[in-house]
Amino acid sequence: MKFARVIGNLVATQKVNGLDGVKFLIVQPLDIHRQPAGEPYVAVDATNQAGMDELVFVIASKEAGFALPIEFVPVDAAVVGIVDDVDDRPLYDTASVAWRVFLVPSEKTENR
C-alpha cells in the first residue's frame, strides 16, 4: 500500500465486463514525505468516493483486482482508502527514553 494524491479523472467509453460503474482516477504516487515520486498512473476507485486532491491509499498488482466487487478484473492499481489525517510525530521521544538491551542467552551460547 502506498500514498498517492488524486490529480484527475479518466473517462472510458468502453470497459471490460466487471468494471461497469467503477471510476478511473489518475493518481500521483508520493514518497514518505508525501512529495511526488514517479509518474502519475490510472487506478480504479474501489472506495467509489475518492475525489480530486484527496490523499489516498493505492494497492497494485494482482491484489488490486480483489478490492473490487467483482474479483479477477484486469486492473493494475486500485484506490482502497481515503486518508483523513497523517500523524507524523515519532512514536516515542528519543531524548527521554533510556534504552536498554536485554539479551536472553540461547541454548547454543550457554553450551559453549
pLDDT tens per residue, range 50-86: 999 999 999 998 888 888 888 778 899 999 999 998 8
- The radius of gyration of the chain's CA atoms, rounded to the nearest angstrom, is 21
Which residue bears the cell 514517479?
A: 38
- Domains of the chain (ranges, CATH numbers): 2-82 (2.40.50.220)
Give the DSSP H/E element, type plus range, for residue 86: none
Residue 101 pLDDT class (50, 70, 90 cuts): low
pLDDT (0 to 100) of residue 37? 94
pLDDT (0 to 100) of residue 109? 56
At residue 20, does pLDDT exceed 80? Answer: yes
Residue 54 three-state SS:
coil
Give the DSSP H/E element, type plus range, for residue 58: strand 55-60
pLDDT (0 to 100) of residue 43? 96
- Mean pLDDT throughout 24-39? 94
**pTM summary value:** 0.76
Q: What is the DSSP letter of 30?
A: B
Q: What is the DSSP letter of 36?
A: B
pLDDT (0 to 100) of residue 67? 87
The rounded Cα 100 to chain-centroid distance in angstroms is: 34
